[in-house]
Amino acid sequence: MDQSFPLIGSRFPEMKVTTTHGEMNLPADKAGRWFLLFSHPADYTPVCTTEFVAFQKRFAEFQALNCDLIGLSIDQVFSHIKWVDWIKDTLKVEIQFPIIADDMGLVAQKLGMIHPGKGSNTVRAVFIVDDKGVIRIMFYYPQELGRNMDELLRAVKGMQTSDAHGVAIPAGWPNNELIGDRVIIPPAKDVQTARKRQQEYDGYDWWFCHKKL
């Protein structure tokens, strides 16, 4: 099976999809908003169920960042609906975001979500797309490992902070071991700017300066 992997910085491929909330055109219908599209191997599976609950628990936090959640698997829409009903009835969690019914696998193939060694199920892929329809981050996880939703939430916050302030985001931000919740000043591009850096900002050296937002 041919695999197609989009690139970070490229526009999210245009597609019309069927979801539990009706038909949707991506990325056009999300113009002006960020969205996080994530695939899961299959409905009615335990790891995926824990992931959906975890995403829903953070739904309001993603919404506050102007970021919508969209799920996807190679299941028919009625399977998604029944599974969501099961989660609501059994676990008392109502899934508020749409789930793409990619029962033909066309979206998954286009986005490189199918691993040839894992049959027709999708891997746990994540695409974070900005408000202009550009892919900013991609994550791929094996079927065996559930995702950390706090990290995905941090990734959206980090990219939006970087865009808004023209800064870089350190490891573990906002709890970095060296500089805490501070952000990193981009590298100097000339000698004059480099010499001014430590006069203008805190830092360890001219190439490692940081500031408080």
- 160-207: pLDDT as tens digits: 999 999 999 999 999 999 999 999 999 899 999 999 998 999 999 999
The last residue of a domain, from among 93, 117, 147: 147
Closest listed residue to residue 36, CA positions, set 113, 116, 135:
135
Quickly state the pLDDT bin for 117 (edges 50, 70, 90).
low
**Does 143 lie in the same domain as 173?**
no
On the question of pLDDT at 1 being above 50, the answer is no
Does any domain span residue 76? Answer: yes
Residues forming the active site:
48
**Does 32 lie in the same domain as 128?**
yes
Domain housing 207 = 166-213
Q: How many folded domains does the chain comprise?
A: 2
Residue by residue, DSSP assigns 160-198 as HHHHHHT-B--TTTTSBTTTBT-EEPPPPSSHHHHHHHH
Integer CA distances (angstroms), 58 to 8, 85, 136, 174, 183, in order: 25, 19, 20, 18, 24
Per-residue pLDDT at 119: 63
**Does 143 lie in the same domain as 170?**
no
Single pTM value for the model: 0.92
Q: Which residue has the higher pLDDT, 108 or 178?
A: 178
